Amino acid sequence: MMINLKVEAAKIIYIPHDVRPICAEQTAEVVEQAGYKIEMPPEEYFGTTRHFGEPEKIIEWLETKAESADAAIISTDSILYSGLIPSRKHNETEAAIEERIERIRKLREKNSSLRIYLFSSLMRTPKEGVEGFDEEPEYYVEYGRKIFEITMLMDKQEISKLSGSEQERLEQLQKNIPEWVMKDYFDRRMKNLTATKKFIEMTSQGYANYLLVGRDDNSPLCQTHKENRELIKYAEEFHLQKDKFQSLVGIDEFGLLILTRAINDLNEYEPLINVKYNRGKGGGTIPAYSDETIEESIKNEIEIAGGKMIDDETKADLILCVNTDVKGRTFHSHNSLPDNVNYVDEKKLIEGAKIFSEMINELIQKNYPIAIADITFANGSDNYLMKNLFERGLLFKIQSYSGWNTASNSTGFALGTGILSNQMKNSAKDKLLVRRYLDDWIYQANVRTLIGEQLYNTREGGRSYYKLDEKTSAVEERVTELMKIEAQKKLPPFDYLKDFKVKLPWRRMFECEIKFNS
């Protein structure tokens, strides 16, 4: 059922934190299918794994578009560094960063009626560096594992107390990493933390309507966790409530969640959300790449989107159903590089998928609007669940689905799309579902693994998985071919599926861009 809106055809500016398809055009597509006009800066202004972008041009574009917009959702990583990945490797001066921050103040002063929503990220702390993986400074390949361990021990030291052997290990590690490496790593983090504190100050002063800070690929003990404690304490000094400031796990889903919040604010609408989990650990699951339970993450995501969590399913505008493992594990085996190490208990997964799909079917029979967040596996759908949904004919009886990446990414995207779906025609909802099934299910959980295994067995090994380079066109052709075969088996014959193409815009296997023919 579509709801009646107070604000139709609102114009929204969106500056994503990078131009990967899921973060940029696919996020924008959800908003457009809900009936809103959304504008983004030219793609070439943003940085990627291969090059730095032009933050000055991003800010200039923002300044020219602000006067005619109703709301602006702005990634501070993009306006300061040209994107999320450049934020981890840049050499921007403190003066340049400060000047760009001040231009956001001026943006508010010149456009008093513009709703400004900011989202930032605390720099992540990967457990190790990977050869050929360009998302961290080059030295992280050699020193990443030691840097992570240092920050883990420093974090623990601040929270409690290190044992004698832990203190000795910390001192040994610090001696074994060149001083220039440690300086470069921590200086960049300090610039980012300082900038984020300034955005907190600005929000408290009314220069932004809302600020969201994310922790990408986080661990219970690490530098990111340590910095977040400092940030929360700083925000408390300004007495900022959750309707103005939040800090939580995730980043890639934030664009859609804040866009959803902006639309709800414009319409003075507070959606009511009921959440249900698969059997077992359920909401107590602490997923891979997170430092908190999924229940806590989802509670925060509902607040980000401008919604309210309720226990009564009969009064809910949306029921978010979360597919979790019975023991709270995150599986990787069919979604990562083949290493023959990860063990998947197929019997338990098959049983869990059956129970979860039965729950979905019962809710649909009651005509409840359902969104599915599929987080049993990292980086891809649970094939056992998808088989059940397909065989029961449930794939297109839900409002939204997501299983494309880490847990909070998937829950946030399913939630945002599900909330906005009540402003969409059925054909629009179906098209968004088709995109997710192609990407999360057919590509991420199946085709990517097959092609990844073939690349892993070449002379270059795993490196070519991260850097396709001259192999890109050939891999794109093969991926498209395989995905078309699977689409014919699993999806309805929609016109836009007759000749779709798949691109790998970042010349690696992690994400794909699906181009429909209409």
User: Which of 269, 297, 330 marks a domain boundary?
Assistant: 269
CA geometry: angle at 414 spanning 412 and 420, to 5°? 100
Buried b (16+ CB within 10 A) or exposed e, 135-144: bbbebbeebb
At 117-163, the pLDDT tens digits run 999 999 999 999 987 778 999 999 999 999 999 999 999 999 999 99
Alpha carbons 117 and 277: distance in angstroms, whole number:
31
pLDDT band at 340 (very low <50, low <70, confident <90, very high): very low
Say whether both 277 and 263 belong to one domain.
no
CATH number of the domain residue 295 falls in: 3.40.50
Is the per-residue pLDDT at 339 higher than 50?
A: no
Say whether both 246 and 212 belong to one domain.
yes
352 near 317, Cβ under 8 Å?
A: no
151 Cβ partners below 8 Å, 6+ apart?
125, 222, 223, 226
Residue 145: inside a domain, yes or no?
A: no
| pLDDT at residue 216, as a whole number | 77
Say whether both 197 and 78 belong to one domain.
yes
Its domain, for residue 467, covers 449-518
Residue 242: inside a domain, yes or no?
A: yes
Say whether both 209 and 325 belong to one domain.
no
Say whether both 257 and 406 belong to one domain.
no
Say whether both 95 and 77 belong to one domain.
yes
Please give the tally of structural domains in the chain: 3
At 450-500, the pLDDT tens digits run 898 888 777 666 667 788 989 999 999 999 999 999 999 999 999 999 999
Say whether both 261 and 307 belong to one domain.
no
* Least confident interval from 59-73, 174-188, 343-357, 396-410: 343-357
pTM of the model: 0.93
Residue 69: inside a domain, yes or no?
A: yes
pLDDT band at 334 (very low <50, low <70, confident <90, very high): low
Say whether both 26 and 53 belong to one domain.
yes
At 361-386, the pLDDT tens digits run 999 999 999 999 999 998 899 999 99
Is the per-residue pLDDT at 342 higher than 60?
A: no
Residue 388: inside a domain, yes or no?
A: yes
Q: How far is CA 346 from CA 393, 398, 437, in A?
A: 23, 26, 22
Adjacency order of strands within the sheet including 71-75: 37-39, 11-15, 71-75, 115-122, 210-215, 245-249
CA 470, chain centre distance (Å): 28
User: Which of 245, 269, 293 marks a domain boundary?
Assistant: 269
Pairing of strands 400-402, 318-323: unpaired
**Average pLDDT for the chain:** 93
Residue 137: inside a domain, yes or no?
A: no
User: Which of 423, 438, 469 marks a domain boundary?
Assistant: 423
CA geometry: angle at 298 spanning 6 and 373, to 5°? 90
Say whether both 67 and 49 belong to one domain.
yes
Say whether both 338 and 358 belong to one domain.
yes
At 252-306, the pLDDT tens digits run 999 999 999 999 999 999 999 999 999 999 999 999 888 789 999 999 999 999 9
Say whether both 32 and 116 belong to one domain.
yes
Residue 442: inside a domain, yes or no?
A: no
At 311-332, the pLDDT tens digits run 999 999 999 999 999 999 998 8
CA atoms within 13 A on the CB side of 66: 26
